[in-house]
Structure 1
Amino acid sequence: MTTTNLSGLVAATYTPLNDEGDLNLRAIPSMVDHLLAQGIEGLYVCGSTGEGMSLTSDERRAVAEAYVQATAKRIPVIVQVGHNSVREASQLAKHAQAIGADVISATCPSYFKVSDVATLVQTMGEVASGAPELPFYYYHIPSLTGSAIDMGEFLLQAGDRIPNLVGLKYTDTKLFDFQHCLELQDGRFDVVWGCDEMLLGALATGARAGIGSTYNIAAPLYRRIIDAFATSNVEEARRWQSKSIELIRTIGKFPFHPAMKAILEMRGLKVGGCRLPQGRLSKADAASLRNELEVIGFDVEQAGGLAPAE
């Protein structure tokens, strides 16, 4: 297994659907080109943003394969394989390895909650064993899985028991915990930040990469945060982070992922709506969303543009 730590902006990709709610795989090459043009440095497929848990396993395989083929090794493709059936998750991991994905990741089962470190290590070990040649990142998202296990303890135990464990996708807001995980065993683990509106805080604690939903529509904004921080212009970085917060608060007035897909549709990308229970924005809500975005200076027609922060 060869590993290279993730870096920069990794887009949590959306799964394109047609008007009937079926997969629209033909839209994926355009999605990939759009993201590459914005400076995205990796793709995270079939995660929360990509509605992995709302798709059948066969659909997840089809989506993963389409993204891998469209990306053609230009940037890493991470396939999220978590499932309430641990055996099914392991089979999805096996498929990801077979189609040439670069990395696998997985949430833990969420119907029957994982409540202790030993069980999480055993569970993730079985999932990761399906793709022993690929780096594995555990996807920590307690707000959706209901599993709030200490990630430092998980890494310490799992690091010796899961041979291909590389790190975490850390989607929580505890920067102190995130920093602790980053610094464990002299920085052994690659811990990737997953909360877009707190990217600057994560950079300050040592983050080298972020995985996020709004990178699909505003990657240049986040690039400005990263670049300003890298040149020690913290005030400038803070102003751009403020713009990110304003953008996310505006989108959050609507059902979030249907609203994000509506913005991509405004960009000419045929991604459709979301599977139930999320659904699709009405035409009236989409028009209202567009107006709200224009009020804050977000250009829905152009990839990633917000007016300069004042």
Structure 2
Amino acid sequence: MKPYDVDKFKGIIIAMYACYDEHGDVSLAAVKKLARHYVNVGVKGLYVGGSTGEGMLQSAAERKLVLEAVMEEVRGELAVIVHVGAPSTRESVELSQHAESVGADAISAVPAIYYRLSPASVEKHWQEMIDSTSLPFIIYHIPQTTGFQLSTSLLTKMAAQEKVIGVKISSESTYELQQFKAAGGPDFLVFNGPDEQYLAGRSIGADGGIGGTYGIMPELFMKIEQCFADGQMEEAREWQFRVNEIISELLATVSLYGACKAILKLRGLDIGAPRLPLLPIPDGDMERVSKLNAKILSYIAQSRA
């Protein structure tokens, strides 16, 4: 049994978007407004500074400011998991200790990027973060961007530690998800990463999900979760199909994150454009994005009926 309240992390956790002003600088006011919005929606928690949060495109100082703003706004209202992964172990440890100092609920990290690292290197990288705080640690497995394939043997070794409470698995194999759950044990958390297979992940053992497209349609993921929990699998599938329809349209744009941010702006949540090299949505595509937003809002209304 892990010495942490792991139940507070189970459910829908939004991978929070990066928030910038018109000059491309971090907007703390927008960070707070977006975090408050998600409290009002009723999700379980926030994952701050990950892929969706553009953490790898921000300086350590910016990442700290973002987290401080989130904690000032929603501390105690949502579970806050902080992605502290960085190119260097030194910076990751610095971010880990900062996360603890401002009251975050857990830390998480990808393997160090760019260099092709051995399992021993990745283990050492993560272990330095784990040992630097008293916070629980969640492994972030996303081999399509890091180039590192987490083995079941390394996961089992890491999961044996009390502080290592779970893994966010963003690879597209539900078999791998199930194997990681079996290796970690019943109280080891597994978070589904690919949004388009949320229901599949839950069906095969995931305890919840952490996702980027959740941020523009959290109500639909909450509806899938509700149907799953109530044993209404056919209805859950129907809502997952609607979500996947939206995701397919988002992926057909020039920029997934740009489209998501443009949709939020249409709803009065202006969080700026993505930071380059991530592209914004060109003006010529805004009519298409506007129609997609209308479709999402229609589905959300139906989910509440």
TM-score of the pair, normalised by structure 1 = 0.91
In structure 2, the partner of 1:122 is 124
Contact 1:250 1:293 in 2 (8 A): no
SS of equivalent to 1:74: coil
In structure 2, the partner of 1:274 is 274
Contact 1:13 1:46 in 2 (8 A): yes
Q: Partner letter of residue 273 of structure 1?
A: A
Q: Distance in 2 between matches of 1:171 and 1:17?
A: 26
Q: Distance in 1 between matches of 2:226 and 2:174?
A: 20
Contact 1:243 1:306 in 2 (8 A): no
Q: Partner letter of residue 125 of structure 2?
A: T
Q: Partner letter of residue 275 of structure 1?
A: R
Unpaired segments ≥5 residues, structure 1:
none
Q: Partner letter of residue 268 of structure 2?
A: G
SS of equivalent to 1:211: strand
In structure 1, the partner of 2:192 is 193
SS of equivalent to 1:277: coil
Q: Partner letter of residue 270 of structure 2?
A: K
Alignment partner of 1:305 out of 278, 300, 303: 300
Contact 1:181 1:189 in 2 (8 A): no
Deviations 1:217-260 (A, max 9, x none): 11111122112222222111111000010010111111100111
What is the 5 A alignment of 1:1-310? 2-5=4-7, 6-116=9-119, 118-131=120-133, 133-150=134-151, 152-160=152-160, 162-184=161-183, 186-254=185-253, 255-294=255-294, 297-299=295-297, 305=300, 307=302
Contact 2:12 2:44 in 1 (8 A): yes
Q: Distance in 2 between matches of 1:186 and 1:292?
A: 40
Contact 1:12 1:216 in 2 (8 A): yes
After superposition, the Cα gap between the structure-2 partners of 1:267 and 1:185, relative to the gap in structure 1 and judged at 3 Å, is closer
Q: Distance in 2 between matches of 1:50 and 1:212?
A: 11
Contact 1:82 1:108 in 2 (8 A): yes
Q: Distance in 1 between matches of 2:64 and 2:138?
A: 19
Moved >6 Å (runs of 4+)? none
SS of equivalent to 1:305: helix
Deviation at 1:291, TM superposition (A): 2.3
Q: Distance in 2 between matches of 1:235 and 1:188?
A: 28
Contact 1:228 1:237 in 2 (8 A): yes
Aligned length: 299
Q: Distance in 2 between matches of 1:293 and 1:176?
A: 33
Q: Distance in 1 between matches of 2:129 and 2:301?
A: 41
Q: Distance in 2 between matches of 1:163 and 1:82?
A: 20
Deviations 1:12-46 (A, max 9, x none): 00121011100110112221221122221100000
TM-score of the pair, normalised by structure 2 = 0.93
SS of equivalent to 2:132: coil
Backbone CA RMSD of aligned residues: 1.7
Q: Distance in 1 between matches of 2:99 and 2:292?
A: 39
SS of equivalent to 1:65: helix
SS of equivalent to 2:217: helix
Contact 2:97 2:132 in 1 (8 A): yes
Deviation at 1:185, TM superposition (A): 5.3
Deviation at 1:306, TM superposition (A): 6.0
Contact 1:182 1:191 in 2 (8 A): yes
After superposition, the Cα gap between the structure-2 partners of 1:188 and 1:119, relative to the gap in structure 1 and judged at 3 Å, is farther
Deviation at 1:127, TM superposition (A): 2.1
Q: Partner letter of residue 123 of structure 1?
A: H
After superposition, the Cα gap between the structure-2 partners of 1:196 and 1:306, relative to the gap in structure 1 and judged at 3 Å, is farther
Deviation at 1:188, TM superposition (A): 4.0
Q: Distance in 2 between matches of 1:110 and 1:24?
A: 26
Deviations 1:57-102 (A, max 9, x none): 1000100111111112111111100011111101110110011111
Higher helix share: 2
After superposition, the Cα gap between the structure-2 partners of 1:61 and 1:305, relative to the gap in structure 1 and judged at 3 Å, is same
